[in-house]
Amino acid sequence: MRRVGLALLVVLALSTAAGGQELDQVVAGVEATYGKINDLRADFSQASYNKSLGQDIKAEGVVYIRKGGKMRWDYKSPSPQQIVSDGASIWVYTPELNQVNKGSAPKALAGPAGSFLAGLGRLRDEFSVRFLNPANKVDASGRPVLDLTPKNPTPLLTRLVLTVDPKDYVVRQAVIYDQFQNTVTMTFSKVSINTGLADSLFVFNPPAGAAVVPLDPSR
């Protein structure tokens, strides 16, 4: 169930040369870009680091997000799993357990952590924002790196570091910190925006014989 909380966080949780951009310009670019996004599809790779155990767990898959609380995370490895929300209900299907966890999408997606498109469309409302390294505002690829502190932190989200493409202001990497300084690093590629994702992507019907149990997204 750990993946559920991570996916919801990430569901916050996507010009000129970046080195010449000031903080206000980058923030305004991100807000303007995500304010206009109705849907988004991307491949993702995920690395979850447990600080106390010194353990790093990797995963990858495809994510589909649409405004209105609709999303679909299809994990391909290390084991298949689906997380689907139609805006009213959210389902987590784990094939190896033949189990479906179901919960309320508005409850599970409450706050900036649960609304990726809306949350990034109003960064200043939800976070205190600065460059990760004010002396060197970009990474080795020339992408601005923002360090965000939630104005209302939760145990699962105390800090968020975003790496932004300077050409379109789409988030290419997000690093999420929890209260214990564990991190989840999400890297996005093959990002497609406003392609008109089908409603069917956000519909889930439990497989015959699968056990359906209540969802606890904090697990």
pLDDT at 153: 87
pLDDT at 130: 94
Fold of the CATH domain 2-204:
outer membrane lipoprotein receptor (LolB), chain A (2.50.20)
Q: 59-80 pLDDT, tens per residue?
A: 999 999 998 889 999 999 999 9
> Closest Cα partner for 13 from 189, 185, 200?
185
Alpha carbon of 94 to those of 79, 88, 201: distances in Å?
Answer: 9, 20, 17
Q: What is the mean pLDDT of residues 159-185?
A: 92
Q: What is the mean pLDDT of residues 166-172?
A: 93
Provide the token pair at 175: 């690093």
Q: Are 178 and 157 in contact (CB under 8 A)?
A: yes
CB-side neighbour CA atoms (13 Å) of 19: 5
**Would you call 162 exposed, middle or buried from its count of C-beta atoms within 10 A (0-12, 13-18, 19+)?**
buried
Q: Report the DSSP pairing between strands 183-193 and 211-214.
A: unpaired
Q: Any idea which of 40-54, 59-73, 112-126 has the lowest mean pLDDT?
A: 112-126
Q: Are 14 and 171 in contact (CB under 8 A)?
A: yes
Q: What is the mean pLDDT of residues 178-182?
A: 92
Residues 6 or more apart whose CB falls under 8 angstroms from that of 8 comprise 108, 109, 113, 114, 217
Which of the listed ranges 1-5, 10-14, 79-83 does the model predict with the highest average pLDDT?
79-83
Q: Is the model more confident about 19 or about 149?
A: 149
